[in-house]
Amino acid sequence: MSVRLNYVAGAFVDSTGRLEDVNPSDTREVVDTFAVADKALTDQAVEAAASAFPAWSRTSPETRADILDTVGNEILARKAELGALLSREEGKILAEGIGEVVRAGRLFKFFAGEALRLSGEKGASVRPGVDVEITREPEGVVGLITPWNFPIAIPAWKIAPALAYGNTVVFKPAEIVPACGWAIADMLARAGIPEGVFNLVVGPGSVVGQALVESSKVRAVSFTGSVATGRRIGAACFESGKKVQLEMGGKNPLVVLDDADLPTAVEVAVNGAYFSTGQRCTASSRLLVQSGIHDRFVAAVTERLKALKVGHALAPDTQMGPVVSAEQLKQDMDYMRIGSEEGAHLAFGGEVLEREAPGHYLAPALFTEATNAMRISREEIFGPVACVIRVADYEEALAIANDTPFGLSAGICTTSLKHATHFKRNAAAGMVMVNLATAGVDYHVPFGGRKGSSYGPREQGSYAREFYTTVKTAYTLA
């Protein structure tokens, strides 16, 4: 049986441990088997990245652009195959898998261009005869730690800017979905990335991730994942003087006002809350619905959910794939029990479903009569579970939308320009959506949130340079 190996110092290297990447649509299927890196191999990867940094940071931006562009083109050319691989390891439906792969390809191509666009400033000094230059330089070795819910897009939006701006990389994908991350390593290797510039280490967060965070040679860590892990990594990076960027959870509100177009609001809510099995940090998990439209909205969403086909991610008629793992399914079920105990009404779904293949299937769940104080309204569930909170008017909706420890994305469905404009200005979130789902963003503009959702500079778009470069101010006596 072939085993996918780690990529360290320009070579695919074996290790003793093994890890199976299991298909959540059919748990009998092992998508691939991976060699598991340990602390020693992770340290070797960091050493290799540190040795490669001086030369890579001084390469022509054209060299970096060409490698990233080559990878971007290959990802786009292989979208059907990589999309299927993604859907097999993560469980999102094939259309979403292919969509995510295309996004990853576009990200590589965007940052290929960014390598060439990085520029500085030159200004007059307040002192006579002195020139001032402000330039950006790469940070050094960056550690990239990614979650399982976007197995190719999140790695792409960290790896591509890190390399574009001249950093060297040690990348640790989520251990339950390493196949797409491995595919990126394979493509970078064939595109001619110099030895040590990019390294892949597959393994548990507590070993491989922690080794990266603790290494004195890693200058910066970019992490996407849970709040608890993110906070721990943030504290450890602060202790060891590393730059850190954290993208954590969300509890994103979608406000539906009485004047909303009902079919639009239902589509936006169902997409935002349940597509990708609700496993998106931008998912609309709190639906704040004004009393005049409340009953019609709940009835229409329920009808839509009844018709939603839950099944194998690769089956052509499936609209919602399985939950990613048994552990995540248990978390979803625990929260549904908590919601019922707290007094919310389970209006639809929430039951484990049997399908032909053994998988982690869950019916999309809708709670009504929820309050914003309940745990199901405050804590991120990360599954196909949304709760409806009834609100009297726009002012109450806005207050509840902002009453959360998170602040990633916030949406509103309304035909009122006044309320849409006010919401865009006053929603305490990094991203605001009007008549659009809270999830689903472009790849060339900043992504990130406020409060407990994010820490550090934004990701994606030109804003990514804030994290992946450091500023130098140089003075010259002319």
Catalytic amino acids?
247, 281
Measured from the CB atom, the residue of 208 and 370 that comes closer to ligand ADP is: 208
Of residues 295 through 324, those in contact with ligand ADP by CB under 6 A are none
Q: Is the dihedral of CA 199, 204, 205, 206 positive or negative?
A: negative
Measured from the CB atom, the residue of 287 and 324 that comes closer to ligand ADP is: 324
Residue from 226, 402, 435, 462 binding ligand ADP (CB under 6 A): 226
Q: Which stretch binds ligand ADP (CB under 6 A): 43-51, 205-213, 255-263, 358-366?
A: 205-213
How many CA atoms lie within 13 Å of 347's alpha carbon, on the beta-carbon side?
21
Measured from the CB atom, the residue of 283 and 344 that comes closer to ligand ADP is: 283
**Residue 344: burial class (beta carbons within 10 Å; 0-12, 13-18, 19+):** buried
476 binds ligand ADP, rule: CB under 6 A: no
Pull the structure tokens for residue 107.
């990200």
Distances (CA, A) of 418 to 63, 130, 396, 421: 49, 51, 16, 5
Q: Which stretch binds ligand ADP (CB under 6 A): 152-160, 203-211, 265-273, 429-437?
A: 203-211
Of residues 140 through 179, those in contact with ligand ADP by CB under 6 A are 145-148, 172, 174-175
279 binds ligand ADP, rule: CB under 6 A: no
Query: Beta strand pairing status for 365-368 and 345-348?
Result: antiparallel
Task: Please report how close the Cβ of residue 125 comes to ligand ADP at its closest, in angstroms.
Answer: 44
- The C-alpha atoms of residue 222 and residue 234 are separated, in whole angstroms, by 10
* Residue 18: strand, helix, or coil: strand
Is residue 187 within 8 Å of residue 121, measured between CB atoms? no
Query: Beta strand pairing status for 198-200 and 168-172?
Result: parallel
Instruction: Give Rg (Cα) of the chain.
Output: 23
57 binds ligand ADP, rule: CB under 6 A: no
Q: Which stretch binds ligand ADP (CB under 6 A): 87-95, 224-232, 251-259, 456-464?
A: 224-232
63 binds ligand ADP, rule: CB under 6 A: no
What is residue 413's DSSP assignment?
E
Residue from 164, 169, 193, 233 binding ligand ADP (CB under 6 A): 233
Closest CA to 250 of 272, 219, 268, 266: 272
| Site map 331..350 versus ligand ADP, x via CB under 6 A | --------------------
Count of other CB atoms within 10 angstroms of residue 24:
30
Amino acid in position 160: A
Measured from the CB atom, the residue of 293 and 324 that comes closer to ligand ADP is: 324
213 binds ligand ADP, rule: CB under 6 A: yes
210 binds ligand ADP, rule: CB under 6 A: yes
Task: Please report how close the Cβ of residue 173 comes to ligand ADP at its closest, in angstroms.
Answer: 6
Measured from the CB atom, the residue of 59 and 226 that comes closer to ligand ADP is: 226
225 binds ligand ADP, rule: CB under 6 A: yes
- The C-alpha atoms of residue 10 and residue 209 are separated, in whole angstroms, by 20
Task: Please report how close the Cβ of residue 328 comes to ligand ADP at its closest, in angstroms.
Answer: 8
Q: Which stretch binds ligand ADP (CB under 6 A): 81-89, 208-216, 337-345, 401-409?
A: 208-216
Q: Please work out the total of residues on this chain that contact ligand ADP, with binding judged by CB under 6 A.
A: 18
Pull the structure tokens for residue 92.
């999102």
Measured from the CB atom, the residue of 235 and 373 that comes closer to ligand ADP is: 235
Measured from the CB atom, the residue of 347 and 381 that comes closer to ligand ADP is: 381
Measured from the CB atom, the residue of 19 and 344 that comes closer to ligand ADP is: 19
What is residue 464's DSSP assignment?
G
- The C-alpha atoms of residue 98 and residue 470 are separated, in whole angstroms, by 35
Residue from 6, 215, 229, 276 binding ligand ADP (CB under 6 A): 229
Task: Please report how close the Cβ of residue 385 comes to ligand ADP at its closest, in angstroms.
Answer: 15
Residue from 209, 253, 349, 461 binding ligand ADP (CB under 6 A): 209
- The C-alpha atoms of residue 248 and residue 146 are separated, in whole angstroms, by 11
Torsional class of 225: left (φ above 0), alpha (ψ -120 to 50), beta (otherwise): left
Closest CA to 76 of 96, 97, 104, 113: 104
Is residue 321 within 8 Å of residue 355, measured between CB atoms? no
Q: Which residues bind ligand ADP (CB under 6 A)?
A: 145-148, 172, 174-175, 204-206, 209-210, 213, 225-226, 229, 232-233
